[in-house]
Structure 1
Amino acid sequence: MYQSPQDYTPQAFSKVAPYEMPRPVRRRRKAPFLFLIPLLFFGFMFFGFSYLVSPDPDIEVKPGVGFAAVNGRQAVLVPYERHGSRGMFQLMVRDMFQVRLAAADPATGEVLWDVQLSDELIWDAQVLAAGDRYAYLATGSGLVIVDLHDGAVVAQGSEIEGIGGSYVAAPSAYGYDAANRRVLAMNATGAVLALPLDAVAATPTDQATTAVWIATLSARPSSSPATANKAALGSGDVVEVRPRPAGGPGSVLVRVGADGGETQLGETAFHNASIVLDGGTAAGAAAGHVLVKHNRSVNDIGTELSSVSLTTGAVTGSLAVDSSPQRAVTRADGTAVVAAGDVLATAGADGRVVAVTIGATDFLGNPS
């Protein structure tokens, strides 16, 4: 049929419905993360659940603690054992048996650094001395020098210049000459070598020094008692544990002056009590207190540490521990630090007795 030209004008075309292309049908795909659910569940059960149900590793503080200045802060250097791993991740990437060294602030309890020294099951370590830069440890692998900034091992055993392959892998072969501020080492030939504090190389000593120290460094180490019923106070006085004058269970503390005069320190009765020693002196005496190890009560044989004021006789602080003290050391300001099993206890001038947490780790097994 004939159409006029008007039928082909733009207005006419605008009246025609536009042609629409058919839309493709999209297929719904399953979310890719659904395939990860079994893997995530396995990861949680293998790593996370094993961490949740596993106990913390066993921690035991070694007796050979010492003091040092770490990055401008007064700290205690604590060698300790860490046995076991919490969870499968730690079991895979961490050593089951570790001997570590931690630096902690005894006033705040903050751990400044914590490093591993050994992965051996039986390995001894004790702090001999510390300078401004380095600390020196006598260990089952010989002498170990660590950087006080971060605890990194600077040299050990045969790596120490001047000692080399003639080193002795026994803690007893090393000592500290406090009068001359130097670490002494006996080598396999019987020579005595010296390292002044903050030195990393050993040099031979003179014959007089060798004659004095050779017997000490050759002898088997003898453990001195950590507690006693009687201890010096450093002023000519002594403190003693005695039965209660009126009878009954428990003991009391008595201070005996240099002139023979006696004063009972308070009325508190301690059961199965003894005085914690720093050498032959009562631990804490420099700060005006005496530390006592005793049963928690007449019916509880668990161990407790208590601080008793030498002025008033009052008990100023107590801390329950799981083991008897192994060693106590006293800092120049009078702060006493006591190693007792898995606990590092500190007693300051205020008389409080608090525990410093050593050996805490995060999920990955890193010190926290």
Structure 2
Amino acid sequence: MLTMNSLCPYPIIQAPMAGGATTPELVAAVSEAGALGSLAAPLLTPLAIIEQAEHIRRLTDKPFAINLFVQTRPQVDFAQIEAAKLLLQPVCAELGWTTLPTPTRWCEDFEAQFDALITARPAVASFTFDVLHGSQVQRLHEAGILVIGTATNLAEAIVWQAIGADAICLQGTEAGGHRGTFIGAQQDATLSTAELLAVCRPQIQIPLIVAGGIMDGADIATALAAGAQWVQMGTAFLTTKESGIHPAYKQRLLDARTDGRDTTRQTRAFSGRFARGLDNRFMQLMESVADQVPAYPVQNALTGAIRSAAAAKESKTEFMSLWCGQGVARARDVHAATLVATLVQEMQAATRKS
């Protein structure tokens, strides 16, 4: 029977990062190297989830994970959309646009994605933005799939444990990308990775995974010594050769030479949920109205055209969502397998010293 401890040799999970970063090649390379690769599937159609899972299996026979956003399709009206477009007008003006196109759809259907995930049958399924129903956890377990939930506070961790999750990923404020908060206000989830682990460890009996600010083997050793069973690393894998992010985005991360606390910040302007990334012109233009934009996924869909247009012009990284965590200054330009091997060597060296 598959368990978290039997998944792979090393306690390292490559974080699922939506938007094309987690290519099948990246996921497979990480799993082949002895860590756990994760495919970010929230923006994929159900068919694409199955196809990409099969692509990964053609590259490796090792376990891997698939991640989804737990969400429902929003109810929107014309007035809301027009008001949201007005908030984005300063950005459109700098791009030379007179109008912002209205998306044809706001998000993928979660129930259909969930069915596709069951069909794909990865070793692990991870979830963020909300919690599953008990019946959904049961379906995953019956399919032989381990379940990882995401928590940004103790209350969320307790709920995931009660619902039958096999492990919980504790997401500290240092983490890049979207916050997984679903109990309480997103802006109130202010615990660092270490603080969140210290709060949850006495109350949670299932394995704890920590995410946020972990960039090298010494960080991994510190997290494990503090009581985590695993670490989840996103930003460290964004700059690997197999990562699918735009080359200009990747270069911006590699050029971030100062401490990430000076170069990253959280915003809800891009997507309607708080997310951490490199500070840029889009964030600055939207700063005064960021708390007024519609919630995810509406804002995320509205800004999709802006982000796509920016990606088509390498000089326009100022209008891309450059998601990354506070440790971005320590990112490395290497192959994923090399990164995993280096992390393990650093972790073992740090453990011997302690």
Higher relative contact order (CA 8 A, sep 6+): 2
Q: Give the alignment's TM-score, normalised by structure 2.
A: 0.22
Q: Which has the higher strand share?
A: 1
Q: Which has the higher helix share?
A: 2
